[in-house]
Amino acid sequence: MTPPVFAHGHLRLYLLSLLDERPQHGYELIQSLGERFGGTYVPSAGTIYPRLGKLQEEGLVTKQSDGRRTVYAITDAGRAELAARQDELAAIETDVTDSVRRLADEVRVSVDEAMRSLKADLASAAREARAGTTRPPVEDPEDARVASRRRLQETDAALTRFRSELRSKLRGHVASGRELTEETAQLVTRRLDEVLREAVAALR
């Protein structure tokens, strides 16, 4: 399991750093965090608003209504705390960068394992198909067709299993608030294209 992005009290500090850039409403802060961390960490409203309320109670931020939205801004006291904890903020940035890299590595390993499994299944099916086409002429053609249909069903099952497992992994990754990076998407597409070409070549 990937460790939490923020240790105790660190999200509070990071919110101050975002508000030091410009006043924002709650949803903007959620988006800012998601963009800052490449989608690896996207907090819920139930996480952000109580912390903003606490910061307001401590006099570190103010809030003002802007139509239907509430805009939060950092106060001088908030800036003073932020300045006093710059070293801590830098350490938070480093920890988050490491977390994003670990998540990207996990996805790459998962994709590689799934591709190896699919290649093995396809290679096995191709060998069986070639063996079926070189059987002696005395073999009953009906038996060969039955065996071929069985192998087709097994190959279809392998493809369905692969698609289901990889799709579940990728959707779970995104649903948890983490980003599916362009690099990872290209990796999946490239490997799938490679497997497809190999399978088509084996079936010629």
Q: At what angle do helices 86-133 and 10-21 cross, to 10 degrees?
A: 100
The pLDDT tens digits of the residues spanning 3-48 come to: 456 767 788 888 999 999 999 999 999 998 888 766 666 788 898 9
Asked if residues 62 and 75 have their Cβ atoms less than 8 Å apart, the reply is yes
**0.85 exceeded by the pTM?**
no
Integer Cα distance of 15 and 20 in angstroms:
9
CB count within 10 Å of CB 115 equals 19
- CA torsion through residues 184, 186, 187, 191, sign: positive
- ∠ Cα 4 21 71 (to 5°): 85
Q: Which amino acid is at 20?
A: D
pLDDT tens for the chain, residues 1 to 204:
334 567 677 888 889 999 999 999 999 999 988 887 666 667 888 989 999 999 999 999 999 988 888 999 999 999 999 999 988 888 877 877 776 677 667 667 777 777 777 777 777 777 666 666 555 555 566 677 777 777 777 777 777 777 777 777 777 677 666 677 777 777 777 777 777 777 777 766
Q: What percent of the chain has pLDDT over 70?
A: 79
| Distance of alpha carbon 104 from the chain centroid | 7
Asked if residues 20 and 83 have their Cβ atoms less than 8 Å apart, the reply is no
Question: Can you tell me whether residue 2 is helix, strand or coil?
Answer: coil
Query: What residue has token string 């290649």?
Result: 119
Q: 3-state DSSP: the chain helix, strand, coil percent, rounded to 5?
A: 75, 5, 20
Which residues are CB-neighbours of 147 under 8 A, at least 6 positions away? Answer: 132
Q: Domains in the chain, start-ordered, CATH in brackets? A: 10-84 (1.10.10.10), 100-202 (1.10.132)
